[in-house]
Amino acid sequence: MHALRQMFSRRISDSEVQEVIARGTIIEEYPDDKPYPSYLILGVVNSRPLHVVGAYNRDEGEIIIITVYEPDPDQWRENKMRRR
């Protein structure tokens, strides 16, 4: 539910999230997250950089979207791939 609210308030569509997941790059991994390991994925959709944080449930083969946002340029450098 959190991710859907964030997507709506930030005007990020389902199709944009799907594109980031399909074509983006994993830039951080969180293998110890519970109940499933999660990943920060960077993608650019229509010249708009987006970060998607998703957890991967390997048993069910599903990605659970945790949050989606535009990276803040004050916190990210190198094409939104590295934290400042």
**How far apart, in whole angstroms, are the C-alpha atoms of residue 15 and residue 48?**
13
Structural domains of the chain, count: 1
Tokens representing 24? 């983006």
Q: What is the pTM of this model?
A: 0.85
**Ramachandran category for residue 80: left, alpha or beta (phi over 0 → left; psi -120 to 50 → alpha):** left
Measure CA 59 to chain center: 21
Domain with 42, as residue range(s), is: 2-83
Of the two residues 24 and 72, the one the predictor is more confident about is 24
**How far apart, in whole angstroms, are the C-alpha atoms of residue 76 and residue 51?**
11
Summarised one tens digit per residue, pLDDT across range 5-60 is: 888 888 889 999 999 999 999 999 999 999 999 999 999 999 999 999 999 999 99
Task: Report the pLDDT value the prediction gives residue 84, as an integer from 0 to 100.
Answer: 60
